Chains A and B, each alone.
Chain A
Amino acid sequence: MHVGLEHYLTVSFLLFALGLLGVIMRRNLIVIYMSLELMLNAANLALVAFSRFNDKLDGQVLVFFIITVAAAEVSVGLALIVALYRRRQSAHVEDLTSMKL
């Protein structure tokens, strides 16, 4: 079977949807954060596939930028989640309720 652009795009859409579902459904901050990374990687997959099939390199260059930025985001994000865990002894979203009307 020949694997074409649409196959890659389908996988990428599925990954994106799975990630979004994870962000919405899961209650643990670390798992939510992993799902967010999944969504970013779905975009990376789409970009690389488009690059490959359209014979253009811009998409792959953008992927490098995305990977770098995602690494920076993760380092800040995990530090934040650890700091919150130290204060609250919990990394669940239900516990993020100190600010209500």
Chain B
Amino acid sequence: MNSSLIALEICVLALGTVLLLADFWMPVERKKFLAYFAAIALGGLLLAGFSDSSFCQTFGTAFNGAFVEDAMALFFKRFFLVAAILVLFVTAEFSDKIAAGISEYYSLIIFALAGMLFAASANDFVMLFVSIELITVTFYVLVSFQRAKLTSLEAGVKYLIIGALSSAFMVFGIALIWGTTGKMNFTELAAVASQFLDNKIFLIGVLFLLAGLGFKIAAVPFQIWAPDVYQGAPTPTTTFLAIGSKAAGFVLLLRVLFAAIPAVAEQWRDFLIIISGITILYGNLCALPQRNLKRLFGYSSISHAGYLLLGVAAVSATGQSAVMYYLAGYLFTVVATFIVIVLVMQNLETEDISGLAGLNQRSPILAATMTLAMASLAGVPPLAGFFGKFLLLKAVIGQGIATSNHGYYCLVFTALAGVLISFYYYFGVIRAIYWSKEAKDLSPIQLSGAAKLAITICIAGIVWIGIFPNTILNLADEAAKSLGI
């Protein structure tokens, strides 16, 4: 057994504990800066992973095959580290609104990150369950952290009930899969899964397991919590939910479908196509009448789960690498969106879209950032969102030609219709920034140095991933190879 493989996770857990302890000795007015300390520490871990040392570069399995370190695990670990660093920057800007326990908030983000890192390496149903619960239970607290706000508590309770329901489904699904096949390990299960394709109990188990994962990524019909929770949760939590939690759901979905039960994935193409199409349409249509910005992005995140499912439904290596590429672009776009929301809404009680009015006079940088992020979400070339959607659709069309399944062509048209609908509400946000007459408050917004840094990183990410896709795409291709379908 090679337990040095989990060095990264142990470092992250230690960092979370250090933050909890630092709470005792840190003067109250300085606690805000713990976020920068945590971000720098995570940045150090990220750079250590890129350097040539053996730190989180050696591939292999640990804990009897339950934990696997491969190209895909590495890709997603880097992804989650970057996500957590950017979310910490967002949190630092938001910290004035969290009255007590800001260092607990930071350390909970770090613990959720640890869960995501374990999820990236899960190769066993026990590991899958424990890592997903570590993420979910941490998020119950993160969502309801503003205890004085009723909406935050309500969002927390809704997330709790639906989250616990989905984990009950997942556990029951695991019980049925394990009971019929006798395998917990994904690699071992893949070898025998094709013998169980006509076993009803096994298929029910798979369906229940997928229901649990569908909750994490907010795919129809398990999307019902997303708008309420996105709206009620503190904005940094919403940011982390929209990228970290969703990506964790996708890495587990990819592993389960393509590393554990590839035979079922092959057989259920039509099912995946339908789920993906409905999710895209539902998210985009429901986003149209929204006025609350965070609720709008809640629905928009449902539609993006649908776009990402295009790559899953393609059941091909190009589809999987497109999913990973799209997530990388989505990461910077979402953080850019929410950091603007945090900065603009700092002194406002509402989170209504009209709060953005006059932003181009209050802070041209923020206005430009938001515009860029909206354009990327909508899929305007040459930004990251455009190339990501292009790759996803290319993978789907490729499968349509290869399997001559007409469902794939219908799916392409559904996705294109969804993109057209989404232009309406994304450009509604841009219109509110530049052409709204309702602006009352035109005082300039002061940006801290850290906020400027985070915004620069996000803009650079959106543009760089879109214009020079090769680096990320090569990493994603490499990662998709390790799934071996």
User: A residues bordering B, Cβ < 8 Å?
Assistant: 9, 12, 16, 19, 23, 29, 32-33, 36, 39-40, 42-44, 46-47, 49-50, 54, 56, 58-59, 61-62, 65-66, 69, 72-73, 76-77, 80-81, 83-84, 87-88, 96, 98-99, 101
**Which single member of B137, B144, B184 contacts A69 (CB below 8 Å)?**
B137
* Sampled A-B contacts (29; CB under 8 Å): A19-B168, A23-B165, A29-B157, A29-B161, A39-B165, A39-B168, A43-B174, A44-B171, A46-B179, A47-B179, A50-B175, A61-B126, A62-B125, A62-B174, A62-B178, A62-B184, A72-B137, A73-B133, A73-B167, A77-B160, A80-B153, A83-B144, A84-B153, A87-B153, A96-B157, A98-B150, A99-B151, A101-B289, A101-B295
A83 to chain B, nearest CB (A): 6
**B420 interfacial contact with A, CB 8 Å:** no
Chain A residues closer than 8 Å to B172, beta-carbon distance: 16, 39, 42-43, 46
B144, B154, B158, B289 — which one has the most chain A CB atoms within 10 A of its CB?
A: B154
A29 to B153, CA, bound (A): 13
A15 to B125, CA, bound (A): 22
**Which single member of B126, B160, B167 contacts A62 (CB below 8 Å)?**
B126
Do A99 and B232 touch across chains, with their CB atoms under 8 A apart?
yes
Closest A residue to B227 by beta carbon equals A99
Known contacts A65-B126, A73-B164; is-contact A83 B133 (Cβ 8 Å): no
A16 to B176, CA, bound (A): 13
A36 to B390, CA, bound (A): 42
Do B156 and A80 touch across chains, with their CB atoms under 8 A apart?
yes
**B228 interfacial contact with A, CB 8 Å:** yes
B148 to chain A, nearest CB (A): 8
**Count of chain A to chain B residue pairs whose CB atoms are closer than 8 Å in the complex:** 117
Known contacts A39-B172, A58-B178; is-contact A99 B228 (Cβ 8 Å): yes
Closest B residue to A23 by beta carbon equals B165
Chain B residues closer than 8 Å to A33, beta-carbon distance: 161, 164
**Which single member of A36, A54, A96 contacts B164 (CB below 8 Å)?**
A36
Chain A residues closer than 8 Å to B6, beta-carbon distance: none
Known contacts A69-B129, A99-B231; is-contact A88 B150 (Cβ 8 Å): yes
A23, A59, A69 — which one has the most chain B CB atoms within 10 A of its CB?
A: A69
Do B150 and A87 touch across chains, with their CB atoms under 8 A apart?
yes
Do A58 and B133 touch across chains, with their CB atoms under 8 A apart?
no
Do A66 and B129 touch across chains, with their CB atoms under 8 A apart?
yes
Do A65 and B154 touch across chains, with their CB atoms under 8 A apart?
no
10 A-B pairs with least C-beta separation: A50-B179, A39-B168, A43-B171, A46-B175, A43-B172, A36-B164, A69-B133, A47-B175, A84-B153, A43-B175
A50 to B232, CA, bound (A): 41
A78 to B179, CA, bound (A): 32
A99 to B225, CA, bound (A): 11
A56 to chain B, nearest CB (A): 6
A12 to B483, CA, bound (A): 34
Do B137 and A73 touch across chains, with their CB atoms under 8 A apart?
yes
Known contacts A40-B168, A40-B171; is-contact A83 B147 (Cβ 8 Å): yes
